[in-house]
């Protein structure tokens, strides 16, 4: 999706009957379309291709000849069993960049183990860092492994393409969701590797240990985020709330930490979240409200930056979605393609790649492809 948003022609190769299972993931919008499908499949075209059908395999190998990148999300070994592993693909196109996104990577004892985002975050150490000290950990609120692996993959693909442009030689990229999760450990992971200190919940500078970097409850049961890591911001905060005695306590430990946090809890519970937001408006402090999804998208700053934009809906009209995060000085956001119907562009894509009418008719007749259909299968519950 990231590459498609930047203008790449992304062809989504899907199993002809069910297609990408997120097409059937509830809840559905008023047109019967899954928000997951709207979220991830914009700006792509869909090619229905049965890779268990030899005609389908032959078609894919032919498509690869003039393709820059192939991305797959099978478990290790599946592409080889289908006859389209990297060694075979690079025979067809030596400059091809092949990126395989898997749960645990191509090698190692867990390589063929199934998994989903929560598994990768649990094994990668993120779950044990999330939540309050002395309480059970939380399920993290965002899909760090899924989204992070896609982001790393896009970055790696662009780097590999630059090398292929210079050398004419492509390569295979092994992108693991577990690796993506652990890459986001950043300072927590490096602290462990450098010192042997194994951080727990509320035991490091960015997960709640310091009074200056925490969530504090307000009078109406909401949360205010305080992230005054630098002393100057902490001093400004203390001055504003009348606690000059805490100037030196932004990183307090032990009993003093407990004392400062309890005092701040009591202070912030004296006003509602809205009152605190108004109180700190314009102040040079790192303080912000913890908002729900509706409030985030309705926030004046989010609206002013156009973080939500309209995309073409596959059934009717438009739908709102998040725009790509970067802003370019001279690269306008492309006019969006709606998330495709399953196999909607099969015939169009095959013709573009040199398939003749008789060849396309044979593929259609053999069931290796079709020209567009609704997916068949059970709805996946919320």
Distance of CA 2 to the CA centre of its chain: 10
H runs (alpha helix) in the chain: 2-5, 35-40, 54-64, 78-81, 86-92, 117-123, 144-167, 177-183, 186-195, 231-240, 254-268, 273-280, 293-298, 300-304, 346-352, 357-366
Decide: 375 and 57 in contact? Cβ < 8 Å. Answer: no
> Could you confirm whether 116 is annotated as catalytic?
yes
**Cα–Cα dist 314/43, whole Å:** 11
| Concatenated DSSP letters of 98-129 | EEEEESS-SSSTTTT----HHHHHHHTTSGGG
> Could you confirm whether 146 is annotated as catalytic?
yes
Which residue do the tokens 């190998």 mark? Answer: 61
Q: Phi and psi of 122, rounded to 5°?
A: -70, -50
**Token reading at 325:** 């995060």
- The DSSP call for residue 373 is B
**What are the residues whose beta carbons fall under 8 Å from the beta carbon of 196, sequence distance 6 or more?**
none
By residue count, the chain amounts to: 382
Q: In what order do the strands lie in the sheet with 97-102?
A: 69-72, 97-102, 171-176
Check 29, 31, 66, 116 and give the catalytic one. 116
Check 72, 146, 179, 249 and give the catalytic one. 146
- Give the residue among 62, 58, 63 at the shortest CA–CA distance from 11: 63
**Cα–Cα dist 356/346, whole Å:** 13
Which residue do the tokens 């912000």 mark? Answer: 288
Decide: 11 and 293 in contact? Cβ < 8 Å. Answer: no
Catalytically annotated residues: 116, 146
């Amino acid at each position: 999706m990231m590459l498609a948003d930047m203008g790449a022609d992304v062809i989504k190769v899907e199993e002809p009957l069910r297609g990408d299972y997120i097409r059937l993931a509830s809840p559905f919008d008023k047109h019967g379309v899954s928000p997951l499908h709207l979220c991830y499949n914009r700006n792509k075209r869909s090619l229905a291709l049965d890779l268990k059908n030899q005609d389908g395999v032959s078609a894919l190998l032919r498509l690869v000849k003039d393709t820059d990148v192939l991305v797959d999300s099978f478990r290790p070994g599946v592409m080889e069993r289908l006859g389209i592993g990297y060694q075979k693909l690079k025979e067809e196109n030596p400059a091809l960049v092949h990126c395989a996104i898997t749960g645990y990577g191509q090698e190692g004892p867990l390589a063929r183990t199934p998994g989903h985002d929560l598994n990768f975050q649990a094994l990668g150490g993120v779950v044990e860092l999330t939540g309050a000290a002395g309480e059970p950990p939380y399920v993290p609120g965002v899909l760090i492994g899924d989204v992070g692996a896609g982001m790393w993959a896009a970055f790696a693909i662009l780097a590999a393409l630059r090398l292929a442009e210079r050398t004419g030689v492509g390569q295979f990229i092994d992108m693991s969701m577990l690796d993506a999760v652990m890459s986001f450990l950043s300072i927590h992971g490096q602290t462990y590797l450098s010192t042997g200190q194994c951080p727990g919940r509320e035991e490091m500078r960015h997960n709640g240990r310091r009074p200056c970097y925490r969530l504090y409850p307000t009078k109406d049961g909401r949360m205010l985020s305080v992230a005054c890591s630098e002393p100057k911001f902490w001093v400004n905060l203390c001055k504003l709330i009348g606690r000059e005695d805490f100037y030196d306590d932004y990183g307090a430990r032990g009993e003093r930490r407990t004392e400062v946090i309890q005092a701040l809890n009591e202070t912030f519970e004296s006003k509602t979240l809205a009152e605190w937001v108004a109180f700190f408006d314009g102040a040079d402090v790192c303080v912000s409200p913890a908002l729900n999804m509706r409030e985030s998208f309705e926030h004046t700053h989010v609206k002013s930056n156009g973080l939500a934009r309209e995309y073409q809906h596959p059934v009717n009209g438009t739908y709102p979605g998040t725009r790509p995060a970067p802003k370019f000085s001279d690269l306008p956001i492309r006019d969006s393609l709606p998330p495709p119907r399953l196999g909607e562009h099969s015939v169009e894509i095959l013709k573009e790649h040199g398939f003749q009418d008789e060849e396309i008719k044979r593929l259609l007749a053999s069931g290796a492809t079709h020209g567009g259909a609704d997916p068949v299968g059970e709805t996946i519950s919320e």
